[in-house]
Chain A
Amino acid sequence: MATAVTEEVVDYDEALKRYDPVMGLEVHVELNTATKMFCGCATEFGAAPNSQVCPVCLGLPGALPVVNATAVESAIRIGLALNCEIAQWCRFARKNYFYPDMPKNFQTSQYDEPIAFNGHLDVELEDGTTYRVEIERAHMEEDTGKSLHVGGSTGRIHGAEYSLVDYNRAGIPLIEIVTKPLTGAGERAPEVAKAYVGALRELLRALGVSDVKMEQGSLRCDANVSLRPKVGDATSDEQAAVPLGTRTETKNVNSLRSVERAVRYEITRHAAILDKGGKIIQETRHWHEDTGVTTSGREKSDAEDYRYFPEPDLVPVAPTRETVEALRQTLPEPPGERRKRLQSDWGYSDLEMRDVMNAGAVELIQETVAAGATPAAARKWWTGELARRANAEGRSVEDFGVTPAHIAELDGLVRDGRLNDSMARQVLEGVLAGEGTPTEVADARGLELVQDDGALEAAVDKVIEANADVAQKVRDGKVQAAGALIGQVMKEMRGQADAGKAREIILAKLTS
């Protein structure tokens, strides 16, 4: 089974000369509610297998679902943030199919009556333009359990000796957000896909409804791609009239970069098939992060019959207009606007702001500034040292136990002249190691700039005397040579000197 299927692809730019890509993106979001969609079980990630289950989420005979009101509120807020209409009355439906990790052998989902529909999200692209992603619907459903296939080489069910199922995830609330067909993106289609999922992630994080951790599966993207022949010199309207091609659905792409790569790969693969006069098979495909290709999954040619019908065990969901309007009041400032406002407040360049975004540090910086740090210092710490470490360790900066208050305190110590930069780094090490607050660490480690000007002057004199040749260069006007002397002074004072002050004294002595 593990035979790698390498398929032919064409050059991306070549593909775009002849074909117009159309995408449909389906994003599954696990909500961060404390309890599951239809029962009171906990939803904590990483708990011992099957420790968060009950008759309801195990689908035991007789058990009945009850809708989690908080999940419905989250769904409505997501719908509103995506500029959707909110259904005044909608129902859950049963989607009947067999799947080893689905306890009831049907999934409770929404079918023709989604809670939210007809919305849009404006997505900023790197060239500064905006692409409007039309949203078809956002609906509520429950997640399935998780299978672990043991004994095979691929981790898939084929070849496995046995399978284990963990139902902790079964019943966790999901919102599925489905776009309308995204047309007109042209060669930027992969970028649009990435930017959309990124913008959605940012929005969901701002709403506080999900952990949006793609690597943990709390945000998963299925990317549908199809190509249609490009009409030479066609207007956009004429091109839009060309019927859609057959699509493939690449399942569970789990990073922004992969979304972009997977879409790009599928475009080049489809083009190669179409160029040869072949037909695209409608199927689901798996994305392989390591090799950067997709492989065939389940063929969908004889479309599955899910035998949907209204879930008789649940009463309809009928949010009042008052409830919806009250929830609208809880929406955060749209992330794009907020980003622009903060960038201007903080005086960051576009590049700096992008670093901050990439590090996922907007909230941290905001809190750090609120706690008294300068925006520049806050950015320096969160996107520099801490982001580097997080990357290297594959963790999130939030997980370090360093708080915005810590960073603000550290910045205060630097600005008060108690610590220099390298001492501040040592203090941060101490905080990371759990030795206490920055002040406590500085105290405990005896880190403090020497404030005694007499001691500093003595050290300067000593260094000038010992380095007469360097001192002469400074006297001759080569001011940058002073750096070497400062270094010596620092050494002399075992790092506890204020470098700025040392520089002043050296220059005063040598150039006046």
Chain B
Amino acid sequence: MAHALGSGELSSVEIVQAHLDRIAAVDADVHAYLHVDGEGALAAAREVDSRRASGEELHVLAGVPIAVKDVLATKGLPTTCGSKILEGWVPPYDATVVAKLRAAGMPILGKTNMDEFAMGSSTEHSAYGPTHNPWDLTRIPGGSGGGSAAVVAAYEAPLAIGTDTGGSIRQPASVTGTVGVKPTYGGVSRYGLVALASSLDQAGPCTRTVLDAALLHSVIGGHDPLDSTSINAPVPSVVAAARRADVKGLRVGVIKELGGEGYQNGVRDRFDESVALLQEAGAEVVEVSCPSFDYALAAYYLILPSEASSNLAKFDGMRYGARVLPAGVDDPSAEQVMAATRDAGFGDEVKRRIILGTYALSSGYYDAYYGQAQKVRRLIADDFAAAFEKVDVLVSPTAPTTAFKLGDKLDDPMSMYLQDVATIPANLAGVPGMSLPSGLADEDGLPTGIQILAPATHDDRLYGVGAALERMLLDRWGAPLLTQAPELSAKGA
């Protein structure tokens, strides 16, 4: 697409219009967008086209449209975080990631659906209704970035931005047959990303190919003076690594703790085949143990709610977003308005985590919960450090199962939380991770994903391994996986 744009074969306006048409055709079924900005996207496309026509040297992705997860602030475009409490809020500023997309000349098609405040693994916790998996509309698209994965899988956008706090880019990528990357913590600015858990959140690319992800990564990555936790170093050479696509002599570690019990057979089979392919291509494969990963989920579900309870305190109905007056009260106090707003504005999962976090941080419990979780976090980082002494990258299945049915796990938060068991350690340690499609599970014909992890700031390794594997898998499956999605291909992808 970028090539067609560069050569003048296609205009950006044509591409944007094609995607708007596709959205009009399928989004009623998929429900991946919360807000579509056709006019804005076309205006941006026209501008890029005229700049290109005047001979201006443009970014390789200039004119390629993109969708953005609704957790990133977009100036002049609604930003709801999938929550009623922010219904109607239009930020007066752009997140740094969004500003970089605009600067690169990428038209923004709209904002994608998500679990409320990024809490969930299925996008069923969106206050605006669930997104459906383009492979099977009765199934979940993963979460919390189900919208961003689904627009890419359903050809409603060529590229999307997601955010990953415990796997919310990688797990949706896995269950929708797309590529998702969580860069090194601090590799992409968090400025303007409405915080779920500040020490874990990371924005990243949702794409159909590894090279697409690398190109997008290079647009949004880099130091931001507005984010003190952003890394002050150049973006790793991810595009070059994706083009090189080489694994010869590379040491690949299979994480012993991720892939045993609870993993669907089809997921494990496809994973094993991918590892075998890497070995055939000249990689050295060894098993690596990361014993502390067993406690990752527990630590994560203390740290995340703790930070979230503080981050969400600002949503009190006083300054922006929804304000709900308590029923049957004549002259309500500020506290009553706040309580009524939060009661109506926050969904069950959000309330559950706020209460959990408030409890975990309260004096008398801090040491036993939050403090202990931080120690586990340290141990997990140590496990990674030890593993990366022995190997260059680590691999595991991305998610334990393929996409489950909508509604299946809604009443069982614990089983929902288990979806992220393999992805969470990377967030706790701040290391980068990628999920790419490893094939279709035999039992249900749905996509499965393989996760690749690298040491912090070595994001380029993900792209080298990912692109090599992608090429081998393409040979094996004969065509890009997405073209085999049955549900929407009928609608003319």
Q: Which residues of A contact B (CB under 8 A)?
A: 55, 58-67, 94, 96, 98, 100, 103-106, 305, 307-309, 312-315
B23 contacts across to A, CB distance below 8 A? none
Greatest chain B CB density within 10 A among A55, A305, A309 is at A309
Q: What separation, in Å, do the CA atoms of A63 and B227 have in the docked complex?
A: 9
Q: Report if B228 contacts A (CB, 8 A).
A: yes
Q: Name the residue among B191, B314, B338 with the largest chain A CB count within 10 angstroms.
A: B314
Given A58-B319, A96-B361, A106-B313, residue A66 in contact with residue B92 (CB < 8 A): no
The answer to whether A96 touches B310, judged by C-beta atoms less than 8 angstroms apart, is yes
Q: Which residue of A lies closest to B357 (CB)?
A: A307
Select which of A66, A67, A100, A103 is within 8 A of B314 by beta carbon.
A103
The docked-state distance in angstroms from the alpha carbon of A98 to that of B318 is: 12
Chain B min CB distance to A392 (Å) = 42
Cα A96 to Cα B316 with chains together (Å): 14
Within 8 A of A (CB), among B194-210: 194-195, 197-199
Contact B314 A55 (CB under 8 A): no
Q: How many residues of B contact A (CB 8 A)?
A: 43
B193 within 8 Å of A by Cβ?
A: yes
Interface residue B433 (Cβ < 8 Å from any Cβ of A): no
Q: Summarize B's interface: helix, strand, loop or mixed.
A: loop
Asked whether, in the complex, the Cβ of A66 is within 8 Å of the Cβ of B310, the reply is no
Are B93 and A60 closer than 8 Å at their CB atoms? yes
- A62 and B228 within 8 A (CB): no
A105 touches B361 (CB 8 A): no
B363 touches A105 (CB 8 A): no
Closest-by-CB residue of A relative to B338 is: A98
Report B300-332 CB contacts with A as 1/0, cut-off 8 Å: 000000110110011110111000000000000
Q: A307-B362, A315-B229 are in contact. Are A62 and B313 (CB under 8 A)?
A: no
The answer to whether A307 and B195 touch (CB under 8 A), given A62-B73, A66-B228, A314-B229, is: no
Chain B residues near A96 (CB, 8 Å)? Answer: 309-310, 313, 361
Contacts of A62 in B (CB 8 A): 72-73, 79, 91, 95, 191-195
Do A98 and B313 have beta carbons less than 8 Å apart?
yes
Identify 16 new A-B residue pairs, CB closer than 8 A, beyond the known A58-B319, A96-B313: A55-B93, A60-B93, A61-B81, A61-B89, A61-B91, A61-B195, A61-B315, A62-B95, A62-B192, A64-B191, A67-B228, A98-B313, A103-B314, A307-B363, A309-B310, A309-B361
Contact B313 A305 (CB under 8 A): no
CB–CB A315/B228 < 8 A: yes
DSSP majority for the A interface? loop
Spell out B's residues near A (CB within 8 Å).
72-73, 79, 81, 86, 89, 91-93, 95, 190-195, 197-199, 225-229, 306-307, 309-310, 313-316, 318-320, 334, 338, 358, 361-363, 366, 370
B319 touches A103 (CB 8 A): yes
Q: Known: A60-B320, A61-B79. Is A106-B310 also a contact (CB below 8 A)?
A: yes
A-chain residues with CB within 8 Å of residue B227 when the two chains form the complex: 64, 66
The residue on B at minimum CB distance from A66 is B228
| A–B Cβ pairs within 8 angstroms, 8 of them | A61-B81, A64-B191, A66-B226, A66-B227, A103-B314, A312-B229, A313-B190, A314-B228
Contacts of A305 in B (CB 8 A): 362-363
Which residue of chain B has the shortest Cβ distance to A59 in the bound complex?
B314
B residues in contact with A313, CB < 8 Å:
190, 195, 198, 228-229
Bound-state Cα–Cα, A58 to B91, Å: 12
Structural contact, A100 and B319, CB atoms closer than 8 A? no
Q: Closest residue of chain A to B333, judged by CB?
A: A157
A55 to B229: give the CA distance in the assembly, Å: 18
Residue of A nearest to B74 (CB): A62
Looking across the interface, which residue of chain B has its beta carbon closest to that of A92? B228
Residue of A whose beta carbon sits closest to that of B361: A307
Identity of the chain A residue whose Cβ is nearest the Cβ of B358 in the assembled complex: A307
CB–CB B313/A104 < 8 A: yes
- Decide if A309 touches B91 in the complex (CB within 8 Å): no
Query: Among the interface residues A94, A305, A307, which one has the most CB atoms of the partner chain B within 10 A?
Result: A307
Partner of A64, one of B89, B228, B307, B366: B228
A309 & B370 in contact (Cβ 8 Å cutoff): yes
Among residues of B, the one whose C-beta sits closest to the C-beta of A307 is B361
Complex contacts, B319 vs chain A, CB 8 Å: 58, 103
B307, A312: Cβ atoms closer than 8 Å: yes
Q: Which residues of A contact B198 (CB under 8 A)?
A: 312-313
Q: Which of B193, B313, B358 has the most CB of A within 10 A?
A: B313
Q: Top 4 nearest A-B pairs by Cβ distance?
A: A105-B313, A312-B198, A312-B199, A307-B361
Inside 8 A of A98's CB, which chain B residues have their CB? 313, 316, 338
**CB <8 Å contact, B310 and A307:** yes
Closest to B98 in A: A62
- The complex places the Cα of A100 from the Cα of B317 at a distance, in Å, of 11
In the complex, what residues of A have CB within 8 A of residue B86's CB?
61
Q: Quick one: which of B73, B229, B334, B361 contacts A61, CB cutoff 8 A?
A: B73
Question: Is the beta-carbon distance between A104 and B314 smaller than 8 angstroms?
Answer: yes
Give complex CA distance A313, B311 in Å: 10
**A309 in contact with B194 (CB, 8 Å):** no
How far, in angstroms, from A499 to B401 measured CA to CA in the complex? 106
Min CB distance, B72 to chain A, in Å? Answer: 7
Residues in A neighbouring B361, C-beta threshold 8 A: 96, 307-309
- Rounded to whole Å, the gap between the CB of B273 and the closest CB of chain A is 39
Which residues on the A side are within 8 Å of B366 (C-beta)?
307, 309
The complex places the Cα of A55 from the Cα of B92 at a distance, in Å, of 8
**Chain A positions within 8 Å of B310 at CB level:** 94, 96, 106, 307, 309
- Closest A residue to B93 by CB, please name it: A55
Cα distance A337–B201 in the bound complex, in angstroms = 53
A297 to B309 Cα, complex, angstroms: 28
With a cutoff of 8 Å between Cβ atoms, the chain B residues found around residue A312 in the complex are 197-199, 229, 307
Chain B residues whose CB sits within 8 angstroms of the CB of A64 once the complex forms? 190-191, 226-229
Residue in B89, B306, B338 whose beta carbon sits within 8 Å of that of A309 in the complex: B306
Contacts of A314 in B (CB 8 A): 228-229
Q: Which residue of A lies closest to B89 (CB)?
A: A61
Contacting pair B314 A61 (CB below 8 A) = yes
Q: Measured between alpha carbons, how far is A104 from B310 in the docked complex, in Å?
A: 9
CB proximity of A492 to chain B, nearest CB, Å: 74
**Residue in B91, B229, B310 whose Cβ sees the most chain A Cβ within 10 Å:** B310
Report Cα–Cα, A292/B334, bound state, in Å. 32
**CB neighbours of B306 from chain A (8 A):** 309
CA distance A307 to B306 in the complex (A): 9
Q: How far is the CA of A223 from the CA of B312 in the complex (A)?
A: 34
Q: Given A55-B93, A64-B190, A96-B361, are A105 and B316 neighbors across the interface (CB < 8 Å)?
A: yes
Q: Which of A61, A65, A94 has most chain B Cβ within 10 Å? A: A61
Residues on B with C-beta less than 8 A from A58 are 319
Decide: B191 and A63 in contact? CB cutoff 8 A: yes
In the complex, the chain B residue whose C-beta lies closest to that of A306 is B363
* A65 partner residues in chain B, CB cutoff 8 A: 228
In the assembled complex, the Cα of A308 lies from the Cα of B365 at a distance in Å of 12
Min Cβ gap A160→B in Å is 11
Report chain A residues within 8 Å CB of B338. Answer: 98
Shortest CB–CB separation between residue A39 and chain B, in angstroms? 9
Give the shortest distance, in Å, between B147 (CB) and chain A (any CB). Answer: 18
CB distance from B71 to the nearest CB of A (A): 8
Taking the closest CB of chain B, its distance from the CB of A54, in whole angstroms, is 8
Which residue on chain A has the smallest CB distance to residue B80?
Answer: A61
Chain A residues near B197 (CB-CB < 8 A): 312
Quote the shortest CB–CB distance from B459 to chain A (angstroms): 20
Contacts of B370 in A (CB 8 A): 309
Query: Which residues of A have CB within 8 Å of B79?
Result: 61-62
Across-interface contacts of A315 in B (CB, < 8 A): 228-229
Q: Can you name the residue of chain A whose Cβ is closest to the Cβ of B318? A: A100
Complex Cα distance, B231 from A315, in Å, reads 11
With A and B bound together, what is the CA distance between A59 and B194 in angstroms?
Answer: 11
Q: Give complex CA distance A308, B73 in Å.
A: 27
Chain B residues with Cβ below 8 Å from A67 are: 228
Residues of B within 8 A of A66 (CB): 225-228
Q: Which residues on the A side are within 8 Å of B307 (C-beta)? A: 309, 312
Which residues of chain B have C-beta atoms less than 8 A from A59's C-beta?
Answer: 314
Q: Within 8 Å CB of A55, what residues of B?
A: 73, 91-93, 192
- Report B334 CB to chain A, min CB distance, Å: 6
